[in-house]
Structure 1
Amino acid sequence: MNTTQSKNRRPLTAREVETLGRGVHSDNRNGLYLTVSNPSKGNSKGARSWIVRFTSPATKKRRVTGLGSADVGKAGSLSLLDARERAAEIMRLVRAGIDPIEAEKAAAEAEQVQQKKQAKASMTFGAYADKVLADIKRQFKNTKHQKQWEMTLRDYAKPLNDIPLADIMQDDILGVFKQVPKSEAKRGGSRVLWAAVPETARRLRGRLEDILAHAKADGYRTGENPAALTKDLSVRLDRLNDSVKPSKGHFARLDHDKLPAFMTALRTREGNAARALELLILTAARSGEVRGAVWSEFDLDAAIPTWTMPAERTKSAREHIVPLSKQAVELLRGMQPDPTQRLGLVFPGKPGARGVSRPLSDMTLTVVLRRMKRADITAHGFRSTFRDWAGDETEFAHETIEASLAHVIRDKR
């Protein structure tokens, strides 16, 4: 659009700001000009705006910067007095050797940097952990591994979720492992996470370390990683192992990460009692169910070998069918008597007065543990070991795990 500049040598008036026609009109001070465009259907007087012309102190070239609308009554528009004040500020910068356009750009960039800093400073662990999981999904070898990450963070990292990444300290990490997990609390126990489910806790610590390492790489943190297994964190975590003992009245159990070594030692021992304890562990059955088992309850030749306990031999008074693992089948096959004797007890005790075998006594499994110098655990506690393993290391629903233990799931409605 071709415009003409007014040749008036006096300052503009407020009335002229509203009424002057198309063109560029000087206020004759501080490089301030009113620009008026052609009238339009929506604006019969033409759109009006303020500009300031100045010579850049750096390049000595003429430059123009806009101040905003001059349309009277329009939201955000500048009055003549406001425009003059803004123009005077700009010219003060020019006289001081500062290019106001470059200064405005620098200020905007500084504001963006500040906003990014504030955003990073306010990024919480929970929000960032979700972001990291979304970014590294392709690195997981299988969906089970991914779900284990998600489960441990969801169930155990809650104390960190609302803490800004930059503020997380070693005490916050330690606080995660001082929690009493739900599985422990349901049994009435009070062991903390690090002591109650050590394998899961160790994996969780590594995952926290990974997330905080990503946070440092992305600029959300500086300094040392508080979840890294440094000597001082290792010492503080080890102290948690003996900080709380199991509550009285609950069966002491073996942590599931220690079970493989225990089974290796158990298999070196001879006798029916040792084999009975081995089957108890492999099936998560009760002591009385194992000691009273008879060969007719087992079907080792089926496509899925099973042990069917009749209702009269179960605590719930319901028939309970246990699918047998490969190890359990091998154990039983190694003990099977000749076909004519496959109706009696699987683990017979000493013969009675008439020469009839009786079940092992309820103390025989405890004696095995004592001879193995493991008086710190109980036979019944291996059911808790199973529950902890299934809850921490598998994705099976709580109801499925309880059904595996022949627990009756009551309707809570």
Structure 2
Amino acid sequence: MKKSTDIRTLKNLSKPTRYGIPDTRGLHLWVRKDQSKFWIFRFTHLGKRYDMSLGSFPTIQLCEAREKTMSAKRQLLNGINPIEARRLKFEHLRQQTRKVITFRDYAIQRIEKMRPKWKGNAHEAEWRRTLEQHANPIIGNLSVDRINTDHVTKILEPIWSTKHETARRVQSRIQIVLSAAITEGLREGPNPAEWKGHLENLIPYVRRSTAHHKALAYQDVPALMALLNSKNSLTSLVLQFIILNATRSSESAFARREEIDGDVMTVAAERMKAGQPHQIPLCQRSLEIIAEARKLDPDSPYVFSKKGKCLTHTALGGLLKYLNIQATVHGFRSSFRDWVSEETAHTPEVAEMALAHTIRNKVEAAYRRGNLLQRRRVMMCEWESFCLSATRSHEVLTKRPEDVVC
């Protein structure tokens, strides 16, 4: 270009090309086809050529473009790529101005988003409890982009050997929360809570046990039922209903009145483990329990509730612990299954259907059409008669606590 670099000359440049500035090596004014003009600093770093934009003309005047060029040249003399340095500076400013969100707050948001895929409230309560108890004391108030591997190992190591299953769940839940934060751009990867290829190299291996749920011998169930029947509590009613119908705790504890139609309860698909609706034939004592529970909370949409709130799995297990019963709530399904096998002529097919177990054989599952409701009704009424057969001697119990409203 002409040696003159006054503003009028620069404004009159119209041919689409790059115009070098005579007294500033590497500085160019680029005129585009649409006649817009931009300052460009052309340089070489580590054998590679770069074009660095310095802004548009005339917004950026020549004097300012020269200052930016000289600043970039000083960085080059120090071995710094000025384009990379500017990118890092902008990233730092972006990090500073971005809204800080703590792990505690972000975890709550993720739990809210995951709620629709869970069956009942138990999963949500468990997520909240484990994160609040184990993770939040260490990382709850930290921004999600500041959490590192040291934080995660500090959370897990104290409970990894003593409470291994809990520790694995905490690790998995932290990983899910931070994975979502990475996806939303709130932090950069890799995920510090990732197990495979990361934490597995830092935390000792622990052999996982395959212990089953503790179950009460089916011969002892009638005595327990007699004791539960003497208790004036909602917890006792729910536990009796679970035992009589061999259901999972959530299937009964969160049952809704709209699911009851005469002497059949149809558990909604979203509340079933297999994701399929399940019909349960209700015998006489089960119907009586439903009627008794309604009196405790007449206006509730739930079968079993107090002031519209259902019982938790912890409350049911707490009653068994109070009664010194060495069994879990889920274990009564095993008690029922053992009774069917050893005391009756009912087929395994009917028993498995009553337990709502998934058929693993795909061919068999494809051909099974009915739900064996009538055959299951006969079996469940026999089970109910057995459960209610004991006197009030309670000889299987190691202690006889006074009545308590649980």
TM norm structure 2:
0.36
Q: Please identify the structure whose Cα radius of gyration is greater.
A: 1
TM-score when normalising by structure 1: 0.36
